[in-house]
Structure 1
Amino acid sequence: MTEGRGLHPRARVEDYTSKGWWSDETADQVFRDQVQARGDALAVVDPANRAALLGTEPRRLTWNELDHEVTFLAARLLDLGLGRGDVLGVQLPNTIELVEVYLAAWSLGIVVSPLPMQYREREVVGMATQAEFAAFVTTYAFGDRHPAADALAARDRIPSLPTVVGFGLPGEAPEDMPAGVVHLVPAAASEDDTARVAAYRESDPNDPNDCLTICWTSGTESEPKGVPRCHYDWLAISWATVDAPRVTADDVLLNPFPMVNMAGINGMFLPWLRTGGVLVQHHPFDLPTFLAQIAQERVTYTVAPPALLWMLLHDEALLSKVDLSSLTRIGSGSVPLQPAMVRGWQERGIPVINFFGSNEGIGLLSSFEDFPDPDERAQYFPRYGAPGVHWSSRVSEWMSVKLVDVVTGEEITEPGRSGELHITGPTVFAGYLHADRRPSPFDDEGYLKTGDLFEIAGDRGQFLHYLDRAKDLVIRGGMNIAPAELEGLIGAHPAVADVAVIGDPDEVLGERVAAVVTLKPGTTLTLEELVAFLKEQKIASFKLPERLEVRDELPRNPVGKILKRALRRTDEPTTTGAPA
Structure 2
Amino acid sequence: MTVSRLLSTRAGERPEEAAFLSGEDGRALTWRAVAGHAARWHGLAPPGSRVGLVVADPLAFTAAYLGCLSAGLTAAPVDPRLTAAELSDVLTRLHVDVLATDGADPVIRPEVDTVLVDLAGPRRIWSATTAARPSDDAALRPAVLLTSSGTTGRPKGIPLTEWQLLHAAARVARHHGFGPGERGYTPLPLFHVNAQVMGLLATVVSGASLVLDRRFDAGEYWARVARHSPTWLNAVPAVLASLAARPAPPAHVADRIRFARSASAPLPPATATAFAERTGIGVLETYGMSEAAGQITANPLDPARRRAGSVGLPVELDLVVAGPDGREAGPGEEGEVLLRGPQIVSQYLELTERGPERTRAARDDNGWLHTGDVGIRDEAGFLRLAGRADDVINRGGEKIYPQEVENVLLAHPGVAAVAVVGAPHERLGQVPVAFVTTREPDAEALKRQLGAWCEERLARYKRPTVVEVTDALPLGPTGKVLRRALRAELAGKA
- In structure 2, relative to structure 1, the CA distance for the partners of 1:269 and 1:378 (3 Å cut) is farther
- In structure 2, relative to structure 1, the CA distance for the partners of 1:89 and 1:322 (3 Å cut) is farther
Q: Who is 1:90 aligned against? A: 53
Q: Who is 2:297 aligned against? A: 365
Equivalent positions of 1:183-202 (< 5 A) are none
Equivalent positions of 1:269-418 (< 5 A) are 269-315=200-246, 317-319=247-249, 323-339=253-269, 341-343=271-273, 350-361=281-292, 363-369=295-301, 372-374=304-306, 376-382=307-313, 384=314, 395-396=315-316, 399-405=317-323, 408-418=324-334
Partner Cα distance (1:272, 1:303) in 2: 13
- Cα offsets for 1:329-367 (capped at 9, x unmatched): 111133343445545666665332112111100633333
Q: Who is 1:566 aligned against? A: 432
TM normalised by structure 1 equals: 0.62
Following TM superposition, by how much is the alpha carbon of 1:428 offset from its aligned partner in structure 2, in angstroms? 0.7
Checking the alignment, whether the CA contact within 8 Å between 2:144 and 2:160 is kept in structure 1 is: yes
Q: Who is 2:22 aligned against? A: 46
Query: Would you say 1:162 and 2:93 are equivalent positions?
Result: no
- Cα offsets for 1:82-103 (capped at 9, x unmatched): 1211000001125221111112
Equivalent positions of 1:483-502 (< 5 A) are none
- In structure 2, relative to structure 1, the CA distance for the partners of 1:577 and 1:282 (3 Å cut) is same
Code of the aligned partner of 1:414: G
Partner Cα distance (1:575, 1:273) in 2: 42
Checking the alignment, whether the CA contact within 8 Å between 1:225 and 1:433 is kept in structure 2 is: yes
Partner Cα distance (2:338, 2:200) in 1: 27
- Cα offsets for 1:528-566 (capped at 9, x unmatched): xxxxxxxxxxxxxxxxxxxxxxxxxx6157898xx4x62
- In structure 2, relative to structure 1, the CA distance for the partners of 1:123 and 1:350 (3 Å cut) is same
Following TM superposition, by how much is the alpha carbon of 1:119 offset from its aligned partner in structure 2, in angstroms? 1.9
Checking the alignment, whether the CA contact within 8 Å between 1:90 and 1:115 is kept in structure 2 is: yes
Following TM superposition, by how much is the alpha carbon of 1:62 offset from its aligned partner in structure 2, in angstroms? 1.7
Checking the alignment, whether the CA contact within 8 Å between 2:78 and 2:191 is kept in structure 1 is: yes
Checking the alignment, whether the CA contact within 8 Å between 1:109 and 1:210 is kept in structure 2 is: no
Q: Who is 1:27 aligned against? A: 3
- Cα offsets for 1:396-443 (capped at 9, x unmatched): 3xx2122223xx433133223221111001321121114985764322
1:62 maps to which of 30, 42, 47: 30
Q: How big is the alpha-carbon RMSD for the aligned residues of Structure 1 and Structure 2?
A: 3.9
Q: Who is 1:245 aligned against? A: 176
Equivalent positions of 1:550-565 (< 5 A) are 555-556=424-425, 563=430
Checking the alignment, whether the CA contact within 8 Å between 1:329 and 1:351 is kept in structure 2 is: yes
The SS at the match of 2:97 is strand
Partner Cα distance (1:128, 1:505) in 2: 39
Q: Who is 1:539 aligned against? A: none
Q: Who is 2:399 aligned against? A: none
Code of the aligned partner of 1:365: T
Checking the alignment, whether the CA contact within 8 Å between 1:453 and 1:469 is kept in structure 2 is: yes
Code of the aligned partner of 1:112: A
- In structure 2, relative to structure 1, the CA distance for the partners of 1:370 and 1:463 (3 Å cut) is farther
The SS at the match of 1:106 is helix
Following TM superposition, by how much is the alpha carbon of 1:127 offset from its aligned partner in structure 2, in angstroms? 2.8
Code of the aligned partner of 1:423: L
- In structure 2, relative to structure 1, the CA distance for the partners of 1:558 and 1:359 (3 Å cut) is farther
1:426 maps to which of 342, 360, 366: 342
- Cα offsets for 1:138-186 (capped at 9, x unmatched): 1234xxxx4x2xx33xx36xxxx42233323999x9xxxxxx9449xxx
2:374 maps to which of 453, 473, 493: 453
Q: Who is 1:464 aligned against? A: 383
Checking the alignment, whether the CA contact within 8 Å between 1:292 and 1:322 is kept in structure 2 is: no
Partner Cα distance (1:465, 1:438) in 2: 32
1:114 maps to which of 55, 73, 77: 77
Judge which range, 410-419 or 345-354, deviates more: 345-354
- In structure 2, relative to structure 1, the CA distance for the partners of 1:40 and 1:570 (3 Å cut) is closer
Partner Cα distance (1:285, 1:121) in 2: 23
Following TM superposition, by how much is the alpha carbon of 1:370 offset from its aligned partner in structure 2, in angstroms? 5.8
Query: Would you say 1:233 and 2:154 are equivalent positions?
Result: no
Checking the alignment, whether the CA contact within 8 Å between 2:348 and 2:360 is kept in structure 1 is: no
TM normalised by structure 2 equals: 0.72
The SS at the match of 2:205 is helix
- In structure 2, relative to structure 1, the CA distance for the partners of 1:170 and 1:27 (3 Å cut) is closer
Code of the aligned partner of 1:378: G
Partner Cα distance (1:471, 1:572) in 2: 27
The SS at the match of 1:420 is strand
- Cα offsets for 1:267-323 (capped at 9, x unmatched): 2111111111222111122123322221011111121222332443353x4535993
- In structure 2, relative to structure 1, the CA distance for the partners of 1:169 and 1:373 (3 Å cut) is closer
2:364 maps to which of 437, 443, 463: 443
Checking the alignment, whether the CA contact within 8 Å between 2:284 and 2:301 is kept in structure 1 is: no
Checking the alignment, whether the CA contact within 8 Å between 1:237 and 1:426 is kept in structure 2 is: no
Structure 1 stretches lacking a partner, 5+ long: 1-24, 50-57, 174-179, 184-206, 385-394, 474-503, 517-553
- In structure 2, relative to structure 1, the CA distance for the partners of 1:277 and 1:164 (3 Å cut) is same
Partner Cα distance (1:220, 1:306) in 2: 17
Following TM superposition, by how much is the alpha carbon of 1:129 offset from its aligned partner in structure 2, in angstroms? 2.2
Query: Would you say 1:138 and 2:69 are equivalent positions?
Result: no
Code of the aligned partner of 1:401: L
The SS at the match of 1:379 is coil
- In structure 2, relative to structure 1, the CA distance for the partners of 1:431 and 1:94 (3 Å cut) is farther
The SS at the match of 1:93 is coil
Checking the alignment, whether the CA contact within 8 Å between 2:186 and 2:233 is kept in structure 1 is: yes
The SS at the match of 1:471 is helix
Partner Cα distance (2:327, 2:140) in 1: 32
Code of the aligned partner of 1:334: S
The SS at the match of 2:301 is coil
Code of the aligned partner of 2:35: D
Checking the alignment, whether the CA contact within 8 Å between 2:241 and 2:275 is kept in structure 1 is: no
Checking the alignment, whether the CA contact within 8 Å between 2:375 and 2:384 is kept in structure 1 is: yes
Q: Who is 1:54 aligned against? A: none
Higher relative contact order (CA 8 A, sep 6+): 1
Following TM superposition, by how much is the alpha carbon of 1:511 offset from its aligned partner in structure 2, in angstroms? 6.7
Partner Cα distance (2:101, 2:418) in 1: 27
Q: Who is 1:71 aligned against? A: 39
Checking the alignment, whether the CA contact within 8 Å between 2:419 and 2:434 is kept in structure 1 is: no
